[in-house]
């Protein structure tokens, strides 16, 4: 485990050369990648969401592509399409792959795309393949979609339905940097420009091995039961929650906790991992009722309450 911890420390240090702060976001994106899952990143503009994902893909030596979602974006703009190509005097249809054919996809402002386009992307996320016409194309592995969305400017957007949001393992909330961090950001980017090209730290093979190891991290029976109880409690807490999390959340919380344990250099899942991962796992999977909204509660407040109720 020490080897992996050192590797993540190196990854974090290298990211720190480009990104100031946002440690939690970087950690959670790494967890999603380790779990071979997708993540939804929510935050205000200018919080280094896109830059973080781009830097991470550089550090992992993975193919990166970015899709800027707009209401007029078509599914074929993402998946790719057949184009007529002339070859040896003959014209034939040749498949032109879209930006989805990469390892890390940054779907910027996913809620601005139409549901039809969102569905095309979500299908690729789920099946790890794309069907265009009669042909099915397997996507190159590893394949992750890191989608971002803006909590403001909801006009003209198509918010992800809960069923589709459920397919993202984590919903990562990006907060504002602290005063000291912002000062560093200003010094770094408002002064003389120093181009820094991140060096790859994690190869594809290492990443596959890491994904394999993640699923092998042992968990104590009582900790596992607690994680499941936390998820099921969201279904029983009728006074504040209208719809609770699905069993996919139970799978997610255990898997993400395993990944976090490796990140922290532990060979076992701790209750601390469960508590930390409950927020990004559950926050997009529970819908608060009117009473909770009337009290001005957020999903994070309710999750905190659930965690306090089911102590480890």
Partner 1 sequence: MKQFRYAVSEINNTLNSIILFDVFLSTVILFLIIYLVLLVIGYSGLYSIIPSLIYLAVMMAIKSRENKVRTVEKKYPMLDERLRTAADNVHLENEVIDELDRELIGEIKDVETSSFLDTRKSSMKIITSITLCFIILLLASFEIQPIKFDPVVHRIIRGLDISGKSNESSNLAMGGPVGAGDVSLEGEIFGQSAPVKFSRREEKIQIGTTGYEVNVRNIRDARPQEFQEQFPEEIFVESAAAYEENIPKEQQELVRNYFKKLAEAEK
Is 22 in contact with 53 (CB distance < 8 Å)? no
The span from the CA of 150 to the CA of 113, in Å, is 13
Q: How far is the CB of 254 from partner 1 (least distance, A)?
A: 13
The span from the CA of 269 to the CA of 19, in Å, is 28
Interface mask toward partner 1 for 190-229; x: CB under 8 A: -----------------------x--xxxxxxxx------
Interface mask toward partner 1 for 242-271; x: CB under 8 A: -------------------------xxxxx
**# of chain residues touching partner 1 (CB under 8 A):** 15
7 versus 51: smaller Cβ distance to partner 1: 7
Give the DSSP H or E segment for 309.
helix 299-309
94 versus 220: smaller Cβ distance to partner 1: 220
270 versus 289: smaller Cβ distance to partner 1: 270
107 versus 223: smaller Cβ distance to partner 1: 223
Structure-token match 């899952």, residue found:
37
Strand residue runs (E) in the chain: 39-43, 64-68, 80-87, 90-97, 104-108, 129-132, 135-138, 144-149, 170-174, 241-243, 287-288
Interface mask toward partner 1 for 63-102; x: CB under 8 A: ----------------------------------------
Question: Which residue in 37, 40, 24 sits closest to 109, CA to CA?
Answer: 40
Q: How far is the CB of 263 from partner 1 (least distance, A)?
A: 13
- Residue 251 Cα distances to 121, 129, 228, angstroms: 22, 23, 9
Q: How far is the CB of 306 from partner 1 (least distance, A)?
A: 21
The span from the CA of 155 to the CA of 114, in Å, is 13
138 versus 225: smaller Cβ distance to partner 1: 225
Contacts with partner 1 by CB under 8 A lie at: 1, 213, 216-223, 267-271
């Amino acid at each position: 485990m020490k080897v992996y911890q050192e590797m993540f420390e190196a990854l974090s240090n290298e990211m720190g050369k480009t990104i100031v702060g946002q440690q939690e976001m970087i950690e959670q994106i790494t967890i999603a990648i380790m779990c071979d899952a997708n993540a939804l990143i929510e935050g205000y503009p200018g919080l280094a969401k896109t830059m973080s994902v781009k830097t991470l893909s550089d550090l992992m030596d993975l193919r990166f592509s970015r899709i800027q979602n707009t209401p007029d974006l078509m599914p074929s703009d993402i998946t790719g399409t057949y184009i007529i190509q002339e070859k040896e005097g003959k014209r034939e249809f040749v498949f032109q792959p879209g930006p989805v054919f990469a390892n890390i996809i940054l779907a910027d402002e996913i809620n601005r795309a139409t549901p039809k386009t969102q569905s095309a992307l979500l299908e690729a996320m789920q099946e790890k393949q794309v069907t265009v016409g009669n042909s099915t194309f397997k996507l190159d592995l590893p394949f992750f979609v890191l989608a971002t969305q803006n909590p403001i400017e909801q006009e003209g957007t198509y918010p992800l339905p809960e069923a589709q949001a459920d397919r993202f393992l984590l919903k990562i909330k990006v907060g504002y940097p602290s005063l000291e961090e912002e000062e560093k950001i200003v010094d770094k980017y408002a002064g003389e420009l120093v181009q820094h090209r991140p060096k790859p730290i994690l190869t594809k093979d290492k990443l596959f091995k890491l994904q394999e190891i993640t699923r092998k991290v042992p968990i104590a029976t009582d900790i596992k039961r607690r994680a499941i109880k936390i998820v099921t409690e969201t279904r029983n807490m009728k006074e504040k929650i209208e719809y609770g999390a699905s069993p996919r959340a139970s799978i997610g919380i255990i898997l993400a906790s395993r990944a976090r344990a490796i990140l922290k250099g532990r060979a076992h899942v701790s209750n601390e991992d469960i508590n930390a991962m409950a927020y990004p796992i559950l926050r997009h999977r529970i819908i608060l009722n009117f009473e909770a909204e009337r009290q001005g509660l957020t999903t994070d407040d309710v999750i905190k309450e659930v965690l306090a109720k089911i102590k480890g």
